[in-house]
Structure 1
Amino acid sequence: MTTTMQSGGGGDEEQGVLAGRPPRGDGDEMEIGWPTDVRHVAHVTFDRFHGFRGVPEELLQQQQPGLGLGTVEDGVVRAPSASKTVFGVSTESMQCAYDGRGNSVPTVLLHLQRRLYDQGGLRAEGIFRVAADGAQEQYARDQLNNSGVVPDGVDVHCIAGLVKAWFRELPGGLLDALPAEEVTRCQTEDDCARLCRARLPAPRAALLDWAVNLMADVAREEKANKMGTRNVAMVFAPNMTRADDPLTALGHAVQLMNFLNMLVERALKHHHRPSSSSSASSVLING
């Protein structure tokens, strides 16, 4: 049996019902008025280097642990992000601080880096390659979103996985501003650095410089962790692009792996101490 359905033009009444609007009676129209008794009681702003400013005192007093509002210092709510999450949001909406090289970096990344180093993660075999326990990573991720702090007991592979996840979910992809054909043409370490300075906006260049020096710190411990420059570039590259097409993403990741490998090699030649304590200037930004 074949059923044929025909759709006619219908009247305004019929189309209104189909669109989800309530039917109107004859001469009975529903109107939505403007808000009344509106008062401007507070002006709250988000400062990337401090947090929320202008939060009403009554809200500060009502703050409870686990609400994701961050800590309160001198009336300023120091939250890791202006959003409910620290993943998948622009750095413009995140609390930032300067690393030892003068790069403006989200505080959540600096916290993850500090925990990784303090827990001996640089010497852990397969660091950034070994997959973390899924349940533990989700728990740590939730805690980061709530407070910007990794809870005690989280292992180094989980911390490393969160660093990669942060870059993987960064809107726009960290290196997607670099034209693929220009990345391919880079034949030397200096070519790569020049392309970054020419094409990457300053905030992205600062993030890349931080990431490259983190990778260099890992590669410096290759004898212990079995992660040389090429290995660490290989595990980071897929997280630096957000191409929609899988084949395009795969091809671009291979190019980025070679690109990152040269940048890490360059960083190793320029610096001799871990980036968490070095005061040297940025390799990528300042040359």
Structure 2
Amino acid sequence: NDDEFTGQHFGVRVCHLLNEKNPVPMVLEMMLEHVEMHGLYTEGIYRKSGSANRMKELHQKLDTDPNSACLEDYPIHTVTGLVKQWLRELPDPLMTFTHYNDFLHAVDLPEKQEQLHAIYKGLDELPTANYNTLERLVFHLVRVCKEEAHNRMSPNSLAIVFAPCILRCPDSADPLLSMKDVAKTTT
């Protein structure tokens, strides 16, 4: 029903975007593959923004008919900007509101080994759709990091860019509190 159309690929829970053929949301996979093929050597690949008009245009194409969108027709920063936007528009972030406090608590643990154990425990508790999509994103970010000499995107730079996209404070939380959590989410 066209009256109920709000989008098919952006702003939709990850679990509704998967099927037998696509273990990771199709639009996200398309964009990540495009960046891996055409953008890994671009300086500031995820730091620089694309044109708002071009992003809006591509957003609309990808949301309504992803197969008709030709990513090669857009500057790489338009695509990378949409990767971040796709993540921000998720109604529940990849690392989920439910697990937000668990991940922050893990960073507060005194020993590195305890921190890692708690983080892996939190990851294991994520819904399968979120876990698989997060795993694909992390795999992508590792590829970006491996080309740091060219793109100037260190693991820390990428964490600063992506942390607020994948580990967001629940909407009901105090905005000042979430500002204090920025360093923890980046960690």
Change in CA separation of 1:142 and 1:196 when aligned onto 2, cut-off 3 Å? same
Matched, 1:182 2:111: no
Give how far 1:204 is off. 1.6
2: CA distance between counterparts of 1:146 and 1:198? 33
- Answer whether contact 1:131 1:158 (CA < 8 A) is retained: yes
Q: 1:122 aligns with which of 6, 20, 40?
A: 40
Q: CA deviation at 1:207?
A: 1.6
In the other structure, the counterpart of 1:218 is 144
Letter in structure 1 aligned against 2:48: V
1:156 has 2:79 as partner: no
The TM-score normalised by the length of structure 2 is 0.80
User: Which structure features the higher share of strand residues?
Assistant: 1
Q: Distance in 2 between matches of 1:187 and 1:92?
A: 32
CA distance in 2, matches of 1:192, 1:227: 27
CA 1:222 to 1:190, structure 2 compared with 1: closer, same or farther past 3 Å?
same
- CA shift in 2, pair 1:106/1:246, >3 Å: same
What is the Cα deviation at residue 144 of structure 1? 0.3
CA distance in 2, matches of 1:210, 1:252: 25
Counterpart residue identity of residue 34, structure 2? R
Partner Cα separation in structure 2 for residue 98 and residue 229 of structure 1: 31
Q: 2:177: which partner in 1?
A: 248
Q: Do residues 138 (structure 1) and 56 (structure 2) align?
A: yes
Q: Residue deviations 1:233-261, cap 9 Å, x none?
A: 11000111332333233233321211xxx
Judge conservation of contact 1:174–1:204 (CA < 8 Å) in 2: yes
User: In the alignment, does 2:9 pair up with 1:90?
Assistant: no
Q: Which has the larger radius of gyration?
A: 1
Report how far residue 182 of structure 1 moved: 2.8
Give yes or no for contact 2:106–2:116 (8 Å, CA) kept in 1.
no
Structure 1 residues 202, 253: closer, same or farther in 2, change over 3 A?
farther
RMSD: 2.4
Q: Which has the higher contact order (CA 8 A, sep 6+)?
A: 2
Query: 1:210 offset after TM fit, Å?
Result: 1.1
Query: Could you say if the C-alpha distance between residues 187 and 219 of structure 1 is closer, same or farther in structure 2, counting changes exceeding 3 Å?
Result: same
Partner of 2:92: 172
| 8 Å CA contact retained: 1:238, 1:250 | no
SS of 2:164 mapped into structure 1:
helix
Bigger share in helix = 2
**TM-score, normalization by structure 1:** 0.54
CA deviation profile, 1:62-100 (whole Å, cap 9, x unmatched): xxxxx9xxxxxxxxxxxxxx963311111232244678x
Please state whether the residue corresponding to 2:24 is helix, strand or coil.
Answer: strand
Question: In the superposition, relative to structure 1, how do residues 171 and 183 fare at CA in structure 2: closer, same or farther (>3 Å)?
Answer: farther
Closer/same/farther in 2, CA of residues 127 and 253 from structure 1, 3 Å limit: same
Structure 2 residue ranges without an equivalent (≥5): none
8 A Cα contact 1:83 1:89, kept in partner? no
1:157–1:84 distance in 2 versus 1, CA, 3 Å? same
Structure 1 unaligned regions, length at least 5: 1-66, 68-81, 259-287
Match of 1:110 in 2: 29
| Aligned AA (1:115) | H
